[in-house]
Each structure stands twice: as structure tokens, then as C-alpha cells.
Amino acid sequence: MSHPLAGHLEVDDSARTVRHYRYVVERMTRILGGWIALTPELSAKLLMGRHVWDNAQHADAWGKRLPELRAAAQVSEPASEQLVGFMDALEEAEAPGQTIERVVGIYRVLKPHLLATYEAHLARANAVYEPPTCRILARCIEDERRHVTAGETILRHLLRSAALEERARACEARLWGSLQAAGGVTGAGPVTRTSGGSTPPVLSDDASEFIRLERSTGRWPIAAELQAALTAFGDALVAGDTDAARRWLTAAAAPGPEMQGRLRDARGGRHRIVAVARVGAQRLVKLRVEGGREPLTLLLRCVSDGADWRIAMLEAVSASAAQLA
Amino acid sequence: MERPIAYDKLAREDRLVRMRAREVAQLKVDQGLPPFPDLLSRDSIKERVHGIMVGELQAMEGAGRTVYDFPDAPWEFTMDMARQVWDESRHVEIYVRLLEHLDGYIGEFPETTILWRCACAEDAAARVAGVNRGLEGLACDVFNQLVHIARKMGDPILERAVDYVLADEITHVRMGSKWLTRLTEGDPERRRRAIEFQETIDERFNLGGVRREGPHDVVPISIATEARREGGFTDEEIARLLRTTQRSAVY
């Protein structure tokens, strides 16, 4: 049995390790914060929103520990250039359609590795003279375990097809390889990962609740006459019958040449309603057409004359990457 | 990652319809409706709550961008903004649940991005002045009034939940007051520009006389003088805001 005062890190080494932790955690905090606006899915937005503050507190705790180790406060230092490269690669996933890559990078690669690193550090830290570090490690471990579990719950929700699963696997392999090549967050390896296990969620941070909120708009209360008009309009579009489609438009909504071209691209596709909003008695409807020459999302402003519904405005809008489950 | 991002990069699920605020207001006016939902019926309260919900969503996104966009700002500034992200993410959840409580759904009304646009200022001082003092100040007004209306109509769920959110918003205003001062120390020109930016936001959200001094159940948006004072607004600033509400004639 080793001596109770035996230790594995000199004070300066301990400070360097803390700076390495702080580099990764601070950068992760900023990346998560920046991604929220770029992520369409509500569940993933809330996941990131909840964890930014936890991670900021971890970075802060590490930064405040530094002066106690004869080092400057709140300083971050990457373990190596390769680690900077790993973080750069992680951060690259900023397109709206890359939520899977964002969640995989943080919740299947970086956080599980941080968790394993913290656990290994805690297991080796000296219980007599390193309790200040141990307390920070214990708090970070508890939070990271909860985060990894929550992230995995969101990923199971997002990975709805074999193709998406494959995308996630490819991203995970690429980033994990990069992190391994960097020697992990401390640059000294071993580069391992720990799963979140079966950490019970707390109500304020329950990923399954985020998913429920994302799915909360199941069906829209939509008048039968409006539904019939939209179905007829959509059917005419995908049948390529522009005359029949135009019957549902008011004179003000008559499409110009460019829009006519877009509408022709809908031929052969399938249509479905993806949004219904109301402004007074009018309805704003998003109609999505897929499977034609080009996918198309139309925003329609629908007005009723008391008996029939007509489309008083029609424009093509950019489709979000996020389709409701 | 791009820093800062363009207005139109804000990512949304398909179920939300995005539209310019003035277009939505015009559509309502054309139908003989007030441009901004009043608090006279459960349905109009639901519309107000939906507007607040998307506002909280944009506030979370905006605070998150501030964490990312200003890596060279003082660390304590980043900490405050990270805390705000957490608060706003809980507010989103609270308002989605309140929407359910009022039998509404996400996407029931169009989303306007006027708040988000204000959160895209390129200078950190302007951003906290505009968002934490201009927009969160507006939030104090709106929530304070909603708490009173909820109490009057006997809805303790709405009253209690919104009152907790109001407490958070006062904290955010306080953060804005603190950082407007600290970030512009020794740079009066920067401070002047930041305050000007805030004032344009205040002017815009006076909504052509919709926000004004008066009883909660009479005026469309009443000014929460006490909450604003708790958030660090001076009496002079509050008096100036009251004066501007009297001259904002155009929405």
C-alpha cells in the first residue's frame, strides 16, 4: 500500500493539467453557446442551453483553483496543437442540418472522454493534500455523467434512420480518432471514455421532457374546408395541373415566372402540411412538397370569404433541417 | 464557426412560421384587430404567451451567441451570459408549458425575429445595453403586467410561473446595467453608442404608444417602474422612457 502522502502530480504539473481542463471546458462552453442559434431542433437547443452554464461553472472552478497552485487565475492552455485541431474539427459542424454531428461530437466523444479523464484523476489524486482539486473533480464528474446520459437520450431521438445512425458513427469515429491522436484533453493519454450509465434525470434537466416538448405540436386544429382546399391545391401541384392549382389562388397571389418554375418542380412529389399559424381569421400554412424534382416548402396565407378558402399569398421559403418526429 | 452570424442564420423547426413584425401587424390591422395582442381574453393572453415563448427562445440563442462571439471579454462577463443562457432555456420550457396550460401549441402564431435582430449587435457593450436593458427591460414590463392580470383572473399557475421568470429578468437587467458600465469604462464614445442603440430598441418597443404608463388592466403594456429600478435603471432613465412613450406615434 502506498504512503498516504504519496502523489502522482507535482504542484506545477497539477496547475498545467487544470489549465488543460480549462481550455477544453471553456471552449466547449463557447461552442455550445454559439450552436444554440444554429440548431433547429428544440430538444437539442434546450439540451445545449441547459449545459452551457454547468460547463461555464466548471471552467470557472478550474480557473479559480489555479492561484491556489501558484499559477495565474482563469488561464486556459491547450495540451497540444493536435488538441486545438480536434476542437476546431468539433466546432466545424455549424450548418442547420448538422445537429447530429454537433451532439455526437460533444456527447459521444468529448464529454465521455472528459468524464473518464476526471474519474481517473480523482482515483489517483491524493486524499490528504488534494481535496480542493478532488471536490471540483467530483462536481464535474456528477454533471458530466448527467450530461452524457441526457445527450444520449437526445441522440436516440434524433437518429431516426439507419442512414442517420451511419452518419453519427462516421462522425464519432473521425472525431475520436482526432482526439486519440492528440493524446486526449491532457495530451498524455490514455484516451478512454465513460458512458453516463443510468443516471436518473432531474426534472429541470430531463432530456426526455425536451423531446416531449419538441413533439408537442402533433396535429393542428384546422377547419375541414381549409384542409380540403389545401389538399386539392397540393394534389394539383404534384399532379402538374397548374390550372387546377391556380383555382385556389386569389388574383393577388398569381405566381410570377420564377414561382411558376418552382411549382413545376413539385410535379410527381408528395405534399404535407408542416405548420399552421393564425393571424386573426387568416391562416399561415407551410406546405412541404418532397419527392418531386426539387424539394419545396411553400408559405401560404389563406383567407376565407365565409364559404371557401383561397390562398392570398404564396412564397417559397427555405426549409428547416428539422422535421418533426 | 462564423462570428457573429447573420440574422437569417437563426435555425428553426418547420412548425414555426417566421414573418416580419410589421407584416404581422399590418395583417391584423387589415382585419380590424389591434396590432399587438391585448390581455382582454384568454385567447389574446395565449397569443401574448406565444410571443413571449419565441422571445425567450431568441433570448437563449442571443445569450448563447454572446458567450461565443466575445472570447476576449472579461471572463465574468462570459459567466453572466452563460448563466443567462441557462435561465432563458428554463424560461422557454416554462412558456411552452404555459402555452399548453392555455391550450395552445408551438407555432400557433407567427414568429417575428425583431428581438433576435437586436441581439446581433457587433459590440458587446451595445449588445448588453440593447438586449439586457432594452429587451429584458421590456420583458420586465410585460411579465409584471401578466402577473397582475393572472392574479386578477385567478390563474395561480400563470401568476406564479411568470413571477419567477420576472425575478430572473430583473437579474438580467442588473447584469446589463453592470456590464454596460464596466465594458465602457474610460470609453465614453463606446458608452454613448451603446446607450443610443438601447434607446432605438426602447423606441421600437414602445410600439407606437402600446407601451405606456398606466393601470395593468387598461394599457396594452404597462411600464414596470419598480422592477426596472431593481434592475438598475435610474429614475432619470425611467423618466426618459416614459417621455419617449408619449411621442412614439408610429408602429
Chain A environment of B92 (Cβ under 8 Å): 42, 45-46, 49
pLDDT of the residue at A218: 66
Domain span at residue A281 reads 224-316
pLDDT of the residue at B220: 84
Nearest to B68 by CA among A91, A222, A124: A91
Q: pTM of the full predicted structure?
A: 0.94
Residues A185 and A249 in one domain: no
Let me know if residue A4 belongs to a domain.
no
Give the residue extent of every domain in chain B: 38-245
- The ranges of chain B with pLDDT < 70 are 247-251
Percent of chain A residues past pLDDT 90, beyond the cut: 80
Cβ-nearest to A52 among B24, B85, B97: B85
Let me know if residue A140 belongs to a domain.
yes
Q: What residue type is assigned to position A63 of the chain?
A: G
Let me know if residue A92 belongs to a domain.
yes
A contact residues 209-248, partner B, Cβ 8 Å cutoff: 209-210, 213-214, 216-217, 220
Chain A environment of B82 (Cβ under 8 Å): 29, 33, 52-53, 55-57
Q: Which three cell numbers stand for residue A270?
A: 408528395
What are the two backbone dihedrals, phi and then psi, of residue B73, each rounded to the nearest 5 degrees? -70, 160
Q: Å from B161 to nearest chain A CA?
A: 14
Under an 8 A CB cutoff, do B31 and A282 touch?
A: yes
Cβ-nearest to A299 among B17, B61, B96: B17
Q: Å from B58 to nearest chain A CA?
A: 8
- CATH number for A77: 1.20.910.10
Q: Å from A186 to nearest chain B CA?
A: 22
Class of domain B38-245: mainly alpha
pLDDT of the residue at B251: 35
pLDDT of the residue at B204: 84
Q: Which of A187, A214, A241 is the last residue of a domain?
A: A214
Partner B contacted by A60 (CB < 8 A): yes
Complex-level ipTM beyond the 0.85 threshold: yes
Residues A230 and A129 in one domain: no
- Over residues A80-84, mean pLDDT: 97
Q: What residue type is assigned to position A219 of the chain?
A: R
Under an 8 A CB cutoff, do A284 and B110 touch?
A: yes
Chain B environment of A213 (Cβ under 8 Å): 93, 96-97, 106
Residues A210 and A258 in one domain: no
Sequence-ordered list of residues with C-beta below 8 angstroms from that of A5, at least 6 positions apart, any chain: A126, A128, A129
Under an 8 A CB cutoff, do B85 and A40 touch?
A: no
- CATH number for A248: 3.10.450.50
- Over residues A22-33, mean pLDDT: 98
pLDDT of the residue at A206: 87
pLDDT of the residue at A203: 61
Residue A80: pLDDT over 80: yes
pLDDT of the residue at B113: 87
Q: Which three cell numbers stand for residue B154?
A: 385567478
Let me know if residue A22 belongs to a domain.
yes
pLDDT of the residue at B249: 45
pLDDT of the residue at A205: 77
Cβ atoms of A309 and A226 closer than 8 Å: yes
Residue A45: how many CB atoms within 10 A of its CB?
Answer: 28
Residues A205 and A302 in one domain: no
Let me know if residue A6 belongs to a domain.
no
Chain A environment of B68 (Cβ under 8 Å): 30-31, 33-34
Please report which confidence band the pLDDT of residue A107 belongs to, taking 50, 70 and 90 as the band edges: very high
Please report which confidence band the pLDDT of residue A201 belongs to, taking 50, 70 and 90 as the band edges: low
Residues A152 and A265 in one domain: no
Residues A53 and A134 in one domain: yes
Q: What residue type is assigned to position A271 of the chain?
A: H
Let me know if residue A300 belongs to a domain.
yes
Residue A42: pLDDT over 50: yes
Chain B environment of A306 (Cβ under 8 Å): none
Residues A32 and A135 in one domain: yes
Under an 8 A CB cutoff, do B107 and A41 touch?
A: no
Q: Å from A275 to nearest chain B CA?
A: 4
Let me know if residue A31 belongs to a domain.
yes
Tell me the pairing of strands A282-290 and A270-279.
antiparallel
Q: Å from B5 to nearest chain A CA?
A: 9
Let me know if residue A324 belongs to a domain.
no
pLDDT of the residue at B4: 87
Residues A206 and A267 in one domain: no
Residue A313: pLDDT over 80: yes
Under an 8 A CB cutoff, do B2 and A94 touch?
A: yes
Q: Å from A192 to nearest chain B CA?
A: 27
Stretch among A260-269, A274-283, B238-247 having the lowest mean pLDDT: B238-247
A284 forms bridges with which residues in the sheet? A277, A301
Q: Which of A159, A189, A214 is the last residue of a domain?
A: A214
Residues A200 and A141 in one domain: yes
Residues A154 and A290 in one domain: no
By CA distance, what is B25's nearest residue in A? A279
Residues A167 and A273 in one domain: no
Chain A environment of B80 (Cβ under 8 Å): none
Residues A176 and A239 in one domain: no
Q: Which of A151, A186, A214 is the last residue of a domain?
A: A214
- Total of domains in chain A: 2
Cβ-nearest to A60 among B79, B93, B108: B79
